[in-house]
Amino acid sequence: MASTIKMRATERDGVVVVKALMAHPMETGQRKDKKTGKKIPAHYITEVVGEHGGKRVMTAYWGPAISKNPYISFKFKGGKKGEKVRLSWKDNKGQSDSKEVAIR
């Protein structure tokens, strides 16, 4: 299965900047299906975790007000080029995905 996450981690002056784009509908549950008139059920990422060296660096708790195909960027110290950063997400329907990249 193709990954839903595009991610880049770049180190400069001791700070690693992580930028990630996730493919996800982020449905609020308020939108109506134009054909049926019924509300499209809420389907959104509830949690995003960034890890480095096996430790959580950042945990994001998201609600449906985060935009569709969500973007996130965060920064941390102590990462070196070549080391791995992992980003994982899970949503309110129990789906999830994860990706690991090397810091460049």
Q: Kindly report the CA angle at 85 between 5 and 17, in degrees rounded to 5?
A: 85
Question: Nearer to other proteins by C-beta: 70 or 97?
Answer: 70
Q: Measured between alpha carbons, how far is residue 12 from residues 8, 42, 55, 63 in Å? A: 13, 39, 20, 31
CB of 47 to other proteins, least distance (A): 6
CB of 25 to other proteins, least distance (A): 12
Binding mask 3-42 for other proteins (x = CB under 8 A): ------------x------------x-xxx----------
SS3 state of residue 31: coil
Question: Nearer to other proteins by C-beta: 68 or 104?
Answer: 68
Count CA atoms closer than 13 A to 21's CA, side-chain side. 3
Site stretch for other proteins (CB under 8 A), options 1-9, 75-83, 94-102: 75-83
DSSP 3-36: -SEEEEEEEETTEEEEEEEE----B-S-PBPTTT
Site membership for other proteins, residue 46 (CB under 8 A): yes
In the complex, the residues that contact other proteins under the rule CB under 8 A are: 15, 28, 30-32, 46-47, 52, 55-68, 70-78
